A and B are shown apart, each in its own frame.
Chain A
Amino acid sequence: MDCERSQTAIAEWAHGGLASAELRAHVCECPSCRLRLEAERQLARAIDRGLEALLVDPQGEFAARVRERIARTAAQPHGSTIQWLPSVAATLGVIALGGITYMATPRAGGPRSRPTEKSGLFPHPVLLPPPRPPIRAVGNTGALSGLPQARRQPRPSEVLLPPGQAAALLSFSESLWGRRGHAASLLKTTPDGETDLPEPADLTVAPLEVKPVVVRPLEAEVESGDGVSNQRSE
């Protein structure tokens, strides 16, 4: 065995490995390998000394201190968790409330999701068509025009009219929709002398002139027309 080959084997031997008879013989004969073996053994002892420093005992009444700590912990079982519970619950509540509000709020201009009864608080989103614009009554003419008023629309204010115009309007409304009672509740005549509206000088309405219209039967025109019209009527 030469010195180069013995290097690895010497390290193995020094650190607890086995040594072959050939290696032992070589080390006995070779001074440099003997020195190498001694150096490795010194290193092994140094490592042992380093590891011996781990043999440290706890100071004093270690077991008593452990008991004290266990008792301290037992007095506040999972204290930190309990302290955090209200905050966590409040945060989750706010998040859930915000989510419900967000999902229940209608948003114009796009599809929206809304919780359904079956799916609970956080269901899968359901696509709904965009909302229609609400029906609005324009001005105070809702009752008079006979259109149904929007549910949240406030009751229209009373209409202040001069005495002559109110009677004419009521008569007109009744003739159109037959809802005299409703229209009458909305109309209010002005007290005498408090209106700036000009009083009509003459309420008499000129009678309609009815001119007789000559209605000729269609066949008569066809007979007097060209051949094309005649063919179409047939």
Chain B
Amino acid sequence: VSLPDPALHGEFERRLADSSTLAFRVAYGVLRNREDAEDVAQEAFVKAYRKFESLRDRLRFRAWLVRIAWRLALDRQRANRRRERRERASIEPEPPLSIEDAAVSKEFQEHVWRAIDELPEALRVVVILAAINGHDLNEVGALLGVPEGTIKSRLHRARKDLAERLRWIASGPKQR
């Protein structure tokens, strides 16, 4: 498993230092849990290390790593949801939140996460990558291998979609 070439190993070390936050944030963007995000990001690096030798264009390492971390995080999220459903089935349901409670920042945050999770995957990845890259759409386009114009268009559609889903909370119970 270890890289035979010391130069290759050194190059991977540099990539690791350069991209560790990115992998963690991508995983966190999907999972919103530090422990899970850390575990998934580590797993993504292990996978990347194993295949690093076969990666032709090493300049695309960050995009490659984002893809690995994204896939692993989605798998983990599905597994977590299945477990939560099983656990929830054995617990009595909680009473629904009032609108006033939902208007509190933390609750609104939950609604934002849920709305992001419900986006189509092509829009969801753009929203998350734009957020963790400080809305540098050129960088997001490079990570996804998509022109910047397409990223801009997808981001706009994603934000409109999010607004549609969240408007009823911001406007209060009358318009719900």
Contact = CB atoms under 8 A, between A and B. Distances in A.
A associates with B: yes
Interface of A: 11-12, 14-17, 39-40, 42-44, 46-47, 49-59, 62-63, 65-67, 69-70, 73-74, 77-78
B101 to A, nearest CB: 16
A39 B156 contact: no
A13 B45 CA distance: 41
A55 B42 contact: no
B29 A54 contact: yes
Interface in B123-176: 127-128, 130-132, 155-156, 159-160, 162-163, 166-167, 170-171
A67 B49 CA distance: 10
B157 to A, nearest CB: 10
Contact of A54 (B17, B25, B155, B163): B25
Given A44-B159, A59-B34, A73 B20 contact: no
B16 interface: yes
B23 to A, nearest CB: 9
A65 B42 contact: yes
Contacts of B113: 50
B108 to A, nearest CB: 6
Which 9 A-B residue pairings sit nearest by Cβ, starting from the closest? A50-B112, A51-B131, A58-B24, A74-B1, A43-B170, A66-B45, A77-B1, A74-B2, A15-B159
B26 to A, nearest CB: 9
A15 B163 contact: yes
A15 B45 CA distance: 36
B109 A50 contact: yes
A78 B112 CA distance: 40
Sorting the interface of chain B by its residue count into under 10, 10 to 19, 20 to 34 or 35 or more gives 35 or more
A11 B109 contact: no
A42 B25 contact: no
A58 B20 contact: yes
Given A47-B162, A52-B131, A62-B41, A16 B156 contact: yes
A54 B32 CA distance: 8
Given A16-B159, A62-B20, A55 B45 contact: no
Given A16-B159, A62-B20, A66-B20, A54 B166 contact: no
Contacts of B132: 54-55
B28 interface: yes
Contacts of B127: 51
Contacts of B53: none
A65 B127 CA distance: 28
A16 B161 CA distance: 13
B25 A69 contact: no
Given A43-B163, A46-B166, A70-B45, 8 more contacts: A14-B163, A17-B156, A49-B109, A56-B25, A58-B41, A62-B24, A66-B42, A69-B45
A55 B131 contact: yes
Nearest to A52: B131
A73 B34 contact: no
B122 interface: no
A21 B47 CA distance: 53
B21 interface: yes
Nearest to A53: B109
B43 to A, nearest CB: 8
A22 B5 CA distance: 65
21 contacts: A11-B160, A12-B160, A16-B159, A43-B166, A44-B163, A47-B159, A47-B163, A49-B105, A51-B127, A53-B109, A56-B34, A56-B37, A57-B24, A59-B38, A62-B21, A62-B41, A63-B16, A69-B42, A73-B46, A77-B1, A78-B1
Nearest to B41: A58
B21 A58 contact: yes
